[in-house]
Structure 1
Amino acid sequence: MTNSYDAILVVSFGGPEGPDDVIPFLENVLRGKNVPRERMLEVAEHYQHFGGVSPINEQNRLLIKALEQELEQHGPDLPIYWGNRNWDPLLSDTLEQMKQAGIERALAFFTSAFSSYSGCRQYREDIQRAQEQVGEGAPEVQKMRVFYNHPGFIEAMVERTQEALTQVPEERRDQAHILFTAHSIPLTMASGCQYEAQLKESARLVSERLGSYQWDLVYQSRSGPPQQPWLGPDVCDFITQMGEKNEVQDIVIVPIGFVSDHMEVLFDLDTEAKDVGEKLGINVVRAKTVGVHPRFITMIRELIEERINGAEERPALGDRGASHDVCPVDCCLRTSEARR
């Protein structure tokens, strides 16, 4: 694997930017998945509460702008391109643009800190499919490692959580309960990757630096049929159980599984989870995602430099060490059955 690159490619999920985009966008997202149409229409209504505009694209623009400034100040001097899985700018269009600009080899940053089919392998499949569409001369693309235990990610999440804790009355702050949340995935998918283990490690690393707060890892945003087992417990169910037991007055939700405050954060947490807490008399506060936190942006630059320089020492907290750069053939399979 060569360490010479002539561009950075930010790879993300994509989102609608107007009411007319919502249904076509969701059809792209759910193509080939066993999700009832009723659930799709329910999610579509979530977007319409926000004018049919997902914040994820604008947040990616801000991320790219911040990273451009970081690279301009510290190097390396590389242009940044951006391609999405499900909506404009689509990866195939971006790779064609890169080809026309003479880009031959790019280093990709996926907007996912954790290893899973949806957050890693599927993006690699998306890139391969886009390369096939572009044809001869399509840029080679290599991915950066996942960063769930990188000091830059953990330090940024600690600061975001500390900021949220200041919203809890000081006299009750030490008794606040922290809920780390992430997108749920089917158990069959979870069994083929390190997603759950990495989430637990990230939550542990953040909580250790916060002090003696009680915490749990919960999940959100499941979309599959009810009979299909997914990772749990669900954040709203967990808050309900805590309220029924009268266990806590204040909950701080930390969306550690997401890097930007997109729709699933704004609706599933800021609307649904907070509504559950309000009905139970629980003060629910939500921490920001890392977004464009300066330490997070610096971390991306450090990952770029690490790969370019072939660094032997790769920062990682905890006992699991730094993740691999090149994914094994059986890494992040869609289902456990795919191993057979």
Structure 2
Amino acid sequence: MTKKIGLLVMAYGTPYKEADIEAYYTDIRRGKKPTDAELQDLKDRYQFIGGLSPLAGTTNRQAEALRDALNDVYTNVEFKLYIGLKHIHPFIEDAVKAMYEDGIEEAVTVVLAPHYSSFSVGSYNTRAVKEADKYGIQFYHVEHYYQQPKFIQYWTERINETLAGIPKTEHDETVLVVSAHSLPKGLIEKNNDPYPKELHHTAELLRAHSNIIHVAEGWQSEGNTGTPWLGPDVQDLTRNLYHEYGYKNYIYTPVGFVCEHLEVLYDNDYECKVVCDELGVNYFRPTMPDTNPLFIGAIVDEIKNVY
């Protein structure tokens, strides 16, 4: 007999329409409304990438692909999909309540972020568990999947494809910039959070498996809190690498993200490219995982470890 369990896929969320932007930004700021200038700045960024982020649709496609892959692999379990978002509806709590209403007693949770931090993946899980405790739902958490061979294979293939388009004579003048979303430095250090070590491990795995010679690690998309965040920022890193080593080709792999959205389309494809253009060097950014079978397979393989 097939057992039905929940699959709670959690993600950051993004506005569905322009009218959602202020409430979304207010939620990110923990209830503090943005100033008119701050709100306009965010709207301008969305306009630059085409009006709104494609994240909402991609999150749905990724979650559905994961559910389908799991139901192909597991013969005695049927996974029922629920999507819970951090900063916009359907919120994480809404998804957990829907599970209860459907009679779900067990569920696997996964966040669409490859690396673990208590401030990212950990915070999603905490919210989900707090709500699940009201209903007696048991969760099995995926905490990270960056180290899964299929995840590394995905990025290795993209790096090697990009390198194939660069003359071999310039490979020693090419650098891979591996990055993830920055987080407040003080909080990371205070809690001995594994997040920076996991990004470093990712960079080392990509160095070992791909044809790249030079690898650098950076951080991006830091918040404006007035306190130090993890660095170096990828823009500063690009300038430093150019002045110190004279690299001609920069391959940006924002491995802390899993699809194209504002942080990739603006912070990488615009802001980093502006720096590359300023320095007279070449900008490359391979395609993001999205619903690639290797990426989905990496999460499936990690779920096998927890359920």
1:144 partner amino acid: V
2:185 partner amino acid: L
CA–CA separation in structure 2 for the residues paired with 1:169 and 1:41: 42
Structure 1: any 5+ residue segments left out of the alignment? 309-340
**Closer, same or farther: CA 281–85 of 1 in aligned 2, 3 Å:** same
Q: Does 1:270 align with 2:263?
A: no
Q: Which residue of 2 is the match for residue 304 of structure 1?
A: 303
Q: Which residue of 2 is the match for residue 229 of structure 1?
A: 228
Does the 8 Å CA contact 1:10/1:82 hold for their aligned counterparts? yes
1:293 partner amino acid: N
Residue 287 of structure 2 aligns to a residue whose secondary structure is: coil
1:123 partner amino acid: Y
Q: Does 1:159 align with 2:160?
A: no
CA–CA separation in structure 2 for the residues paired with 1:197 and 1:102: 39
Q: Alpha-carbon deviation of 1:10?
A: 0.5
Q: Alpha-carbon deviation of 1:53?
A: 2.1
CA–CA separation in structure 1 for the residues paired with 2:217 and 2:86: 27
Does the 8 Å CA contact 1:19/1:51 hold for their aligned counterparts? no
List structure 1 runs of 4+ shifted beyond 6 angstroms: none
User: After the TM superposition, which of the residue ranges 37-46 and 112-121 deviates more from structure 2?
Assistant: 37-46
CA–CA separation in structure 2 for the residues paired with 1:294 and 1:106: 22
CA–CA separation in structure 2 for the residues paired with 1:111 and 1:189: 22
Q: Does 1:287 align with 2:286?
A: yes
Does the 8 Å CA contact 1:167/1:285 hold for their aligned counterparts? no
User: After the TM superposition, which of the residue ranges 177-186 and 158-167 deviates more from structure 2?
Assistant: 158-167
CA–CA separation in structure 2 for the residues paired with 1:253 and 1:115: 21
**Closer, same or farther: CA 50–212 of 1 in aligned 2, 3 Å:** closer
Number of positions where the alignment pairs a residue of Structure 1 with one of Structure 2 = 301
CA–CA separation in structure 2 for the residues paired with 1:80 and 1:149: 24
Q: Which residue of 1 is the match for residue 113 of structure 2?
A: 112
**Closer, same or farther: CA 36–198 of 1 in aligned 2, 3 Å:** farther
Does the 8 Å CA contact 2:116/2:143 hold for their aligned counterparts? no
Q: Does 1:98 align with 2:99?
A: yes
**Normalised TM-score (structure 1):** 0.80
1:126 partner amino acid: R
Q: Which residue of 2 is the match for residue 207 of structure 1?
A: 207
Does the 8 Å CA contact 1:255/1:287 hold for their aligned counterparts? no
CA–CA separation in structure 1 for the residues paired with 2:122 and 2:225: 23
CA–CA separation in structure 1 for the residues paired with 2:39 and 2:246: 35
Q: Which residue of 2 is the match for residue 335 of structure 1?
A: none
Structure 2: any 5+ residue segments left out of the alignment? none
Q: Which residue of 2 is the match for residue 147 of structure 1?
A: 145
CA–CA separation in structure 1 for the residues paired with 2:142 and 2:4: 12
> For residues 264-319 of structure 1, what are the alpha-carbon distances to aligned partners after superposition, in whole Å with 9 as ceiling and x for unaligned?
011100111011101211101012232222122112222222222xxxxxxxxxxx
Q: Does 1:177 align with 2:175?
A: yes
Identity percentage of aligned residues: 26
2:250 partner amino acid: I
Residue 229 of structure 2 aligns to a residue whose secondary structure is: coil
CA–CA separation in structure 1 for the residues paired with 2:21 and 2:254: 24
